[in-house]
Amino acid sequence: MPDDVFSLFDDYAARFARGERPDTRAYLARAGSGADELAQLIDGFLTRVVPPAPSEETIALTTAALEGRSPLVEARERRGLSRADVVDALVAALGLDRAKLAKIARYYGELETAARDPRRVDRRVFEALASTLRTTVSDLVAAKPRPDEALAAFSWPAAPARRMHLFAAKVEPAAAAPEPPDEIDLLFGAS
């Protein structure tokens, strides 16, 4: 059953007034058959309201992204946290298995370096990150860094010499069948 249109609108307007950037498409999807009515309410609201000034945090994270730096790294460093601190906080906030700390750290590292598509990452990960980094989910997902040089080496038309080592390696047969995706794979969009 779709959510009540007026409740969705009230929530959207309140989040907008707090300086967040609520995802209009997500709200419309939640409205179901009331999506057209909600769209009209949101459209009317946005044409009449003055958006709040961006926070210092929003400006810093957006600036980092525009300069090609990771907004996650920027937020983490502004709080004086190490990558291990953030990974520990993710484990605690999401109730993950500490035995898989290395896997979680790898996925988080990929998220920091833009090697992992943030659109595939479960919102709960970003909610835990926003809480840990004392920022908003919308600031973390709105500011996307440009891919780093390591990723650019694999894009076409990268120089063939940069990719040649990939083809020179000896291919070994697979040792065992891969493990089925676990909760961590699902949270980080790896399955």
What residues of the chain score a pLDDT lower than 50? 1, 148-171
Residue 177 DSSP symbol: P
Question: Which pLDDT belongs to residue 150?
Answer: 40
In whole angstroms, what is the distance from residue 191 CA to residue 176 CA? Answer: 18
To which residue do tokens 């004086």 refer?
80
Asked whether residue 34 falls in the same domain as residue 63, the answer is: no
Residue range 154-187, pLDDT digits in tens: 444 444 444 444 444 444 555 566 778 889 988 9
pTM tops 0.85: no
Question: Which pLDDT belongs to residue 54?
Answer: 81
Q: Is residue 173 part of a domain?
A: no
Tokens of 121: 């990452």
Q: Is residue 141 part of a domain?
A: yes
Asked whether residue 71 falls in the same domain as residue 130, the answer is: yes
Q: How many independent structural domains does the chain possess?
A: 2
Question: Which pLDDT belongs to residue 117?
Answer: 87
Q: Is residue 60 part of a domain?
A: yes
Asked whether residue 30 falls in the same domain as residue 60, the answer is: no
Alpha helices in the chain (DSSP H): 5-17, 24-31, 35-48, 56-66, 71-78, 83-94, 101-112, 123-132, 137-142, 149-152, 160-168, 183-187
Exposed e or buried b per residue across 28-58, where buried means at least 16 C-beta atoms within 10 angstroms of its C-beta:
bebbeebbeebeebbeeeeeeeeeeeeeebb
Q: Which structural domain range is residue 146 located in?
A: 56-152
Asked whether residue 27 falls in the same domain as residue 93, the answer is: no
Tokens of 63: 């600036």
Question: Which pLDDT belongs to residue 158?
Answer: 44
Question: Which pLDDT belongs to residue 82?
Answer: 96
Question: Which pLDDT belongs to residue 162?
Answer: 43
Q: Is residue 9 part of a domain?
A: yes
Question: Which pLDDT belongs to residue 14?
Answer: 92
Asked whether residue 23 falls in the same domain as residue 100, the answer is: no
Tokens of 148: 């780093």
Question: Which pLDDT belongs to residue 47?
Answer: 93
